[in-house]
Amino acid sequence: MVIKISDLDKKVAEVLGLEVNFKVSGTDGYHTIFLKRSGKFNFTGEFTPSTNWQQAGELLEEYDLTLQCRTAFSESSGQHKWFAYAAGKYGDGAAPTPQEAICKAVIALKEKEYG
């Protein structure tokens, strides 16, 4: 199965300094990102932390993030939003899925670290 990699996955790989290869399938823009080396993480194969619980879970543990689900009362639909953050640090992510929230929090933490 070929997955169109999100900009979020690309940004996570970038801020973590992961070595990756991109493979493009056809002319439709679909591509897969494969890890060449993942450093301290146990990531292998496709890198999709925005949808892959195993990869998102490793990030959650590594950066000691707290994950919460809240109802967004400001929206008339009452949709749930996921928030990930690290106590006493700048990382903060809000997204429709827990995996995306984790990715956003890691990006925020790493960007503040290198800021």
Domain ranges of the chain: 7-114
Average pLDDT over residues 86-94: 70
Alpha-carbon torsion 36, 42, 101, 91, what sign? negative
Angle at 19 between CA 25 and CA 8, to 5 degrees: 65
Mean pLDDT calculated for residue range 69-85: 70
Tens digits of residue pLDDT in 9-45 = 888 988 888 877 766 655 555 556 666 655 677 777 7
| Residue percentage of the chain with pLDDT more than 90 | 19
In CATH, the architecture of 7-114 is 2-Layer Sandwich (3.30)
**Which residues are paired to 81 by β-bridges?**
70
DSSP state of 45: S
Among 5-14, 18-27, 48-57, 72-81, the range scoring the smallest mean pLDDT is: 72-81
Q: Measured between alpha carbons, how far is 42 from 58 in angstroms, rounded to an integer?
A: 8
